[in-house]
């Protein structure tokens, strides 16, 4: 059984129309991940961010946000940077069933969501709420998502500043990875919402694995899927050197390592199983996850890199806080 995720156009960065009605106000029309045109008055004053909420402290736009996705309440960066976090309303996680009446009451100008049924977006618009869907399929897409937020909230310069910081971390990773011959690259897989849901060849997870120098053995078998539902026997045949787990998966590395059925896999036998934070694929700190993953893959190549020092420098420049303030919450 396979879970097929349709490949969508990556055109978030495309600005189709821009007109200035005055020096202080402008109108722009953007195209979302579904190819829908959405026209906004900029900068947006009352927005709901369902999954990109870590951009609130990064862009310093708390006064332009009226609602957030409910996952934000457990997010370590949000808990550390937003004093009134628990007072910000939430219309839900972001799938079907978002609380439209709440959004109307809050006079929401814009809701930014991930890939949800198009009918839900149409319903929101029928209620007078602009809805924009995003879904970064690669690190490049994530950068464009961040840049788009900068434009929408009038924080273009700030967005470009931490895009540069992301670039510095990527340059560090690339400088180490390019020295590793392909014959010495390690196999790594990413498990999603259950232990036998594995990342295929589509999407930002596979792009991440490629950029940290890993070989995703499931990519060539499922080249057009971002997630494939497989069997344990299939994973045993893949026999990865490392296993990474999505942060919101309802299982932990110990669940796999303590199961005799999984002990045939090299990563399990060598205890090379790691669970990462959730939803960083919608946040600038995804590059910090990537550095962590790269260090776990190739510790010898990164032995001169102080992960905590790099993370602390990044968090201070992007979020205005120390990484060590978050460490009690992190799974690193």
CATH of the domain at 71: 3.40.50.1980
Q: Are residues 147 and 195 in the same domain?
A: no
pLDDT of residue 331: 56
The DSSP-derived string for 72-123 is GGG-HHHHHH-TTGGGS----SSSTT--HHHHHHTT-SEEEE-S--HHHHHH
pLDDT of residue 105: 97
Among 161, 188, 220, residue at a domain's last position: 161
pLDDT of residue 22: 34
Q: What is the mean pLDDT of each run of 10 residues along the chain (332 residues)?
A: 40 38 68 95 97 97 97 93 97 81 96 90 93 95 97 97 98 96 96 96 96 97 96 97 94 95 97 86 95 97 97 97 84 54
Q: Are residues 88 and 195 in the same domain?
A: no
Q: What's the domain count of the chain?
A: 2
Whole domain around residue 71: which residue ranges? 15-161
Q: Are residues 148 and 30 in the same domain?
A: yes
Rounded-to-integer distance, Cα 253 and Cα 195, Å: 10
Q: Are residues 63 and 98 in the same domain?
A: yes
Total Cβ atoms within 10 A of residue 235 = 24
Task: Assess if residue 317 is contained within a domain.
Answer: yes
Q: Are residues 110 and 64 in the same domain?
A: yes
Task: Assess if residue 3 is contained within a domain.
Answer: no
pLDDT of residue 280: 85
Q: Are residues 38 and 181 in the same domain?
A: no
**Is the separation of the CB atoms in 293 and 244 below 8 Å?**
yes
Task: Assess if residue 1 is contained within a domain.
Answer: no
Q: Are residues 293 and 274 in the same domain?
A: yes
């Amino acid at each position: 059984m396979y879970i097929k995720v349709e490949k969508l156009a990556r055109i978030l960065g495309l600005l189709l129309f821009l007109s200035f009605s005055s020096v202080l106000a402008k109108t722009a029309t953007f195209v979302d991940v579904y190819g829908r045109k959405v026209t906004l008055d900029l900068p947006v004053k009352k927005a709901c961010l369902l999954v990109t909420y870590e951009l609130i402290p990064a862009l310093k736009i708390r006064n332009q946000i009226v609602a957030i996705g409910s996952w934000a309440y457990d997010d370590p960066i949000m808990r550390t940077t937003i004093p009134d976090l628990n007072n910000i309303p939430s219309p839900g996680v972001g799938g079907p069933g978002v609380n439209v009446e709440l959004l109307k009451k809050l006079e929401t100008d814009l809701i930014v969501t991930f890939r949800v049924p198009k009918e839900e977006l149409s319903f929101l618009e029928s209620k007078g709420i602009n809805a924009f869907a995003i879904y970064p399929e690669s690190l490049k897409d994530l950068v464009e998502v961040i840049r788009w937020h900068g434009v929408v909230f009038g924080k273009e310069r700030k967005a470009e500043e931490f895009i540069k910081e992301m670039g510095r971390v990527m340059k560090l990773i690339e400088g180490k990875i390019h020295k590793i011959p392909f014959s010495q690259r390690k196999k790594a897989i990413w498990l999603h919402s259950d232990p036998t849901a594995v990342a295929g060849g589509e999407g930002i997870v596979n792009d991440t694995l490629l950029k940290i120098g890993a070989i995703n053995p499931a990519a060539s078998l499922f080249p057009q899927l971002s997630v494939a539902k497989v069997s344990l026997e299939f994973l045993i045949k893949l026999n990865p050197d490392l296993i990474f787990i999505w942060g919101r998966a309802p299982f932990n590395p110990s669940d796999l390592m303590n199961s005799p059925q999984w002990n045939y896999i090299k990563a399990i036998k060598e205890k090379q199983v790691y669970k990462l934070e959730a939803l960083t694929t919608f946040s600038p700190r995804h590059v910090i996850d990537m550095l962590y993953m790269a260090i776990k893959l190739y510790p010898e190549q990164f032995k001169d890199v102080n992960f905590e020092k790099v993370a602390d420098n990044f968090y201070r420049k992007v979020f205005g806080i120390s990484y060590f303030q978050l460490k009690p919450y992190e799974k690193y």
